[in-house]
Amino acid sequence: MRCKMIGMLLTIVSLVFAHDAQSQQWEKVISESSNETFSSVAIDPAGGYLVTGYSDDNSSFLFHIDSLGNIDWNKTYSSGSANVSIKDIIVTSNGDFVLGGENHLFKTNNVGSISLTKNTSTTISILELGANEIYTVGWENIIKWDGNTLDSIWSRSMVAQSFSCNLKGLTELSDGNILLYGSEGNGGYKSMLKINTLGDTIWSFAEGGQGCLAGPGTGGFTNAKGFSDGTILACDKNGNLLKLDQNGQVLWFNDYSSSYALSWSKIIGNSNSGFFCAGTINGQGNGGDDFILMKFDGGGNILGVNTYGSALSETLMGAVLNDTTGQILLVGKTLGFGSVQEDAYIICTDLNGFNSCNTFQGNLNSTSNSFSDCYNIGGQSSSVTYSSASLTENSLTPNDSLLCSSVGIAENLISNKNLLIYPNPASSYVKIDLQSKNHFISQVEIYSILGSHLDIKYTAGVVDFSPIPPGVYYFKFMLSNGQTITKKVIKN
């Protein structure tokens, strides 16, 4: 894996990102015979993390991973030909897990064994608000459930004026009410709705447009978060951030699309004075789509940017920040790692956004085994049967092996001794000397500290630095043997 930091304001890094030497950074790729995606991640209050995902064979899986990246246990869930595709998970106040996805909502104990399951409409997001009060949203519906029995208490359709809603999620607000967010289905306009615990509307965010509480712009809100002072932060798939007060009035709106081709997926952090946004960025990381993690101050000013991924494509689906361990987990799918077309991908960084790039290949073989139970989550009945051998094609056998070890964007410390750049710092010309005579430099790319690609000529081992202003730059060398070396160069 190649981790890349494409933007950081150096004058404030030491104040904003306090590096914790105790933080553990790791990553995993989960590869089976079919395509897999990690869809969501949650903190287990008892320790570690819960990571859900799904395969294109209609099954889903749940992993419990400790803070070092070790797999404690994992479960697979299937319902025959019916699509399960878990989209979200929460840990309830009594320590149980509630999972939701296509066609099903189900409850497990603290090791993933199912106790209740319900056939329902698509569940995209789950919230517990008060003891034994569960709320779910999916497309145009919000449903309140009894947390003990998973019996529905009430449901509401958010369709307005014959337009179709596309609800992406819900979040708790500081006053005990609920915020729904998403888009109006026909045009993709951003929509937001504050309701009480009975489903009654308190206010809607609608600056123009019609239909399901449509707001300006296309793409819809992908995530929102309420803070303790009543303010609300929302992000969308076009790289925008919007902050509202508790009455739904706009405090500020920032558009980052002119600098970054990105789509936000998740807002993480508990302070409105500083927070992270995670998503997917196109063409400005390691190639194709990559995970992106940005740090902001309370006014939406960028404090730091990191991307993570392969030369192909990665898509971020979920993220979480753990204040106790000082870790950030990013989950999704990758085309560049693993053994199948799409594989489930998880990265753990510290609060600097740095990852040590220790890559593990999780080989999930299609054989029955004692490590993972495979559950049939049933049809219409709320009772379920399960067996560790009945659905062998979905059984999982993790097998970790270390694939690489490198650190950050700054320099590839393993290989860069084979390549010399001098003088460094430089004022005008930089000379490049590849020590190995068995290979040659096939391509050179030069980037600013903010990730902008510079059009600077490289000819016969010399780079003309004179046209660019003083600063810190990164040289990325592609060698004829496929090796990539990154070097930092300072322009006086």
Domain ranges of the chain: 2-404, 416-491
Q: Note the pLDDT of residue 114.
A: 85
pLDDT attached to residue 278 = 93
Per-residue pLDDT, 193: 86
pLDDT of residue 219: 62
Burial environment of residue 282 by CB neighbours within 10 A (0 to 12, 13 to 18, 19 or more):
middle
Tokens of 434: 């590849």
* 3-state secondary structure string across the chain: CEEEEEEECCCCHHHHCCCCCCCCCEEEEEECCCCEEEEEEEECCCCCEEEEEEECCCCEEEEEECCCCCEEEEEEEEECCECCCEEEEEECCCCCEEEEECCEEEEECCCCCEEEEEECCCCCEEEECCCCEEEEEEECEEEEEECCCCCEEEEEECCECCECEEEEEEEECCCCCEEEEEEECCCCEEEEEEECCCCCEEEEECCCCCCCCEEEEECCEEEEEECCCCCEEEEECCCEEEEECCCCCEEEEEECCCCCCEEEEEEEEEECCEEEEEEEEECCCCCCEEEEEEEEECCCCEEEEEEEECCCCEEEEEEEEECCCCEEEEEEEECCCCCCCCEEEEEEEECCCCCCCCEEEEECCCCCCCCEEEEECCCCCCCCEEECCCCHHHCCCCCCCEEECCCCCCCCCCCHHHEEEECCCECCEEEEEECCCCCCEEEEEEEECCCCEECCCEECCEEECCCCCCEEEEEEEEECCCCEEEEEEEEC
* pLDDT value at residue 2: 44
Residue 71 one-letter amino acid: I
Model pLDDT, residue 382: 29
What per-residue confidence (pLDDT) applies to 138? Answer: 81
* pLDDT reported for residue 52: 94
**pLDDT given for residue 14 in this prediction:** 19
φ/ψ region of 168 (left if φ > 0, alpha if ψ in -120 to 50, else beta) reads alpha
| CATH code for the part of the protein at 416-491 | 2.60.40.760
Residue identified by tokens 């068995």 is: 438
CATH of domain 2-404: 2.130.10.10
Mean pLDDT (10-residue bins), the chain, 492 residues: 34 24 62 81 94 85 87 80 82 93 85 83 86 86 89 78 67 94 67 88 67 49 90 88 90 82 86 86 73 88 83 87 90 76 85 52 27 35 28 25 24 46 80 75 74 70 80 77 75 80
Whole-model pTM? 0.68
For the stretch 399-458, pLDDT in tens is: 222 222 222 222 333 334 467 777 877 888 888 887 666 778 888 888 765 556 777 776
Closest CA to 372 of 12, 35, 76: 76
From CA 375, how far away is CA 74, in angstroms rounded? 11
Q: What is the dihedral of CA 475, 478, 484, 488, to 10 degrees?
A: -10
Mind listing the pLDDT tens digit for each residue in 179-231?
998 876 555 567 788 999 998 889 887 554 444 444 444 567 888 999 999 99
